[in-house]
Each structure stands twice: as structure tokens, then as C-alpha cells.
Amino acid sequence: MNLLVCLAAVALLLLTACGGGDPVSEADAPITIGAIFDLTGATSDVGTLYAEAIRDYYDRLNELGGIAGREVDLLWNDYGYDVAKAEQLYSEYVQAGAVMFMGWGTGDTEALRGRIAADRIPFVSASFSHVLGDPSEAPFNFLVGTTYSDQLFILLDYLIEEAEASGGEMPNVALMHHPSPFGLSPWRQGGEDYAKERGIEMAPHEMARGNTDFSATLTRIAESGANTVVFQNTSGPVSIAVKNARDLGLDLRFACLNYCSNEVLLDLAGDAAEGVLASIIYSPPGEGIDGLNEAAEYLASKGGSIDEEGLLYGQGWAVASLVTEAIERAAAAGEVTGDSIFAAFETFDGWDTGGVTAPVTFTSTDHRGIKGMRIFEIREGKFQPVTEMRMASTLGAAE
């Protein structure tokens, strides 16, 4: 009996010695965030810079001590704009302890919204699909950009005002869109009805994935009587379309919603982008915006430049900053869990992004956190503002 007691005591001592010291407490454990990026898929032309900024942001944050002294463990992967891959990675990262998730596309974000709610994981996406801002439809989603629908409403209002002021033709709009839920979002979620309400013609035209020439589509659009093209697509396909239009000599006005309103379009389209209207939610570098200073300083320390990285990098940095603010508020209130981060988001009331975006507000009935945008025009290869900040109303129409 004494021998058994001795052996047990020795075993206990060995276990203690091999245990690596004191166990890690919840207060010291890393905070896990899951993230998916499009680095190789259909929207990688704009997804790469956005993803780079988020990774850089959390590298810098960890160098500075993390959140409330806790390291942030950013679990991420390229999902190639594949909904099934997004669902797989979401499951993997939630099982690994993610209490917050950062998504990308409209199709995958809409597909995941039910699981997000069931798992009670707050979800911030680069998709600005209008339905994702409605807590009755997507309770754990938080929109961090003016919805595609609201962007379209604001842009249509501007085009109508422009026509009325000049005495010119009212806009007759072709909506050239990505072949996906992202592309159709502003049309299906209010755009068709809003155009009718404003008394203008608007029709959708799909931009086939992988197409290297949109001349036939543009010719049909011009022959239909349309005088304006609004793009709901990323910069790569749009650059092809505006160059095609230039080569065809078509007299069409072009405007972009946010994901072709960036320096990638300038680089790819060159002078064919001259005169294109741009929907700007996240301010481009070069305007002296305080909210971009941290990103600029970080890039400079690595031998880079915010001017070279551009608007999409600034957007990714600002989104990571907003997510971090919510987690910091949750940490200050107690435990960091999905529920506490959710509650923290709903405390945002006019949160200032340092001028990068309109102020951010989330409520229990409205998760469209950002409702403003400015309209710019591309002039001599640069974005020049043509409006002040314009806000979307709670009903969706521009104010």
C-alpha cells in the first residue's frame, strides 16, 4: 500500500514537472479571429490588397501587445471565391475557437448567415449586400460599407440631378454586373424598383466571367437607347469594358459602384477611365485623412507607401480597426465571446473612423453601420471629388 502511495506521489510530481508551468488562463489566451480572402478567384483583382492590409494590421497590433494584453490569432486562407470552400474554412476556424469572423464575398456571406447566427459569431464581410444589414434576416452580420443598393440609389439621384441642372437627357441606365449574387445585389435588392420610382429606365446586363471583350454587349447597350452604364463589378472586367467603349467610339457615361472605384481601375484602364464616376466609401490616400495615418506609418516602416497600396489597402486596414474596436469594447466589459463582441458592435453610435468613412452606427434594428459615400470623377488619372458626403436614408433612398 505504501509503495502504491509513493508511486502515485512520484507520478504527480512528474506530471507537474512536465506541465510547462502554470496553465494559460482565459485572460491570457489568444483571441482567435477567422478570415477568408479572395487571393486567386474571380475578385482577386481587388481582394489581394484588402487581405494584405488586414494581415498587416494584426501583425502590427500583436507587435504592440494585442488586445488587452492578449495576442490576436488571425486564422486565414484563400478561398478562391468558392462558396463551398468558404463554408469549409468557416467551420474549421469556428472549431478552432474563432469568436469573430471576417468574410469577403456576397454569395458566401449570404450562404453563411444562418450558421453565423446559430453559432453566435459576429461576422464582418467585404460584401455590402443590403439584406446583410437587416438583423431580422442576418442577425449576426454587421455591414461596414454603404450597401450596394444605397450606393446605386445615391448615384442615380446624382445622375438625375446632373441631367436636370444641365438640361440634358435623363439617364437611361445599363447596369453591367458581375455574374454572381454580388453583381445582382443592387438590382434585386431595390435598384429595379428605385429606378421606376425615379422615372428612369434601367436594365441589367451580365458581364460573363473570364470575358476578354465586352464590345458586343456595349454595342447592344448603345443601340438600346441607354446613355449611361453603371458597373457593379471589380476593376479588371470594368477596365476591359471602358477600353472597348473607347475603341468603339461609344458616347456613353460610365459610373462605378465601390469595387471598381479604386486605383486598380486607373492602372488597368489608363486614359480610358477618364471621366468615369466613382462611388467612394473609403477615402483614397492623398486627402490628408487622419484615419489613414497608422497604415501609412506602418507601410513606411516596411519601405512601402500608402499611396502605392491605395484605397483598397486603406479599406482593409479600416475594417480591421473597426473589428478591433468592437473586441476591445467587449474585453473592457468582461469576457471576449461572440455574444460580448455582438453587444459591443451595437454600442457604436457615430464612431469616428478618422475621416476614412462616414461615422459608424449599429443598432439592434439596423446593422448597416456605414450609410454615406462621396462621388468622385476620374480626371487626368486621379480621383477628384464632385460631391460632399451623401447619406442614404433608413428607407434606402438618398437624402
96 exposure class (CB count in 10 Å sphere: 0-12, 13-18, 19+): exposed
Q: How far apart are CA 372 and CA 350, in angstroms?
A: 12
Nearest 5°: CA angle at 309, between 129 and 328? 60
Domain range 31-146+288-368, CATH class: alpha beta
What's the pLDDT score for residue 395? 41
CATH architecture of 149-280+375-391: 3-Layer(aba) Sandwich (3.40)
Q: Which one-letter amino acid corresponds to residue 67?
A: I
Contacts of 198 (CB under 8 A, 6+ apart): 156, 157, 160
Q: How far apart are CA 117 and CA 142, in angstroms?
A: 12
Q: Considering only CA atoms, which of 386, 392, 44 is closest in space to residue 210?
A: 44
- For 218-348, list the strands marked E by DSSP: 228-232, 253-256, 277-280
- Residues of the chain within CATH 3.40.50.2300 domain(s) are 31-146+288-368, 149-280+375-391
CA distances to 35, 114, 367 from 73, rounded to whole Å, are 11, 25, 26
Per-residue pLDDT of the chain (399 residues; tens, 9 = 90+): 444 444 444 443 443 343 333 333 467 899 999 999 999 999 999 999 999 999 999 999 999 999 999 999 999 999 999 999 999 999 999 999 999 999 999 999 999 999 999 999 999 999 999 999 999 999 999 999 999 999 999 999 999 999 999 999 999 999 999 999 999 999 999 999 999 999 999 999 999 999 999 999 999 999 999 999 999 999 999 999 999 999 999 999 999 999 999 999 999 999 999 999 999 999 999 999 999 999 999 999 999 999 999 999 999 999 999 999 999 999 999 999 999 999 999 999 999 999 999 999 999 999 999 999 999 999 999 999 999 999 997 444 333
Task: Output DSSP code: residue 132.
Answer: G
What's the pLDDT score for residue 34? 99
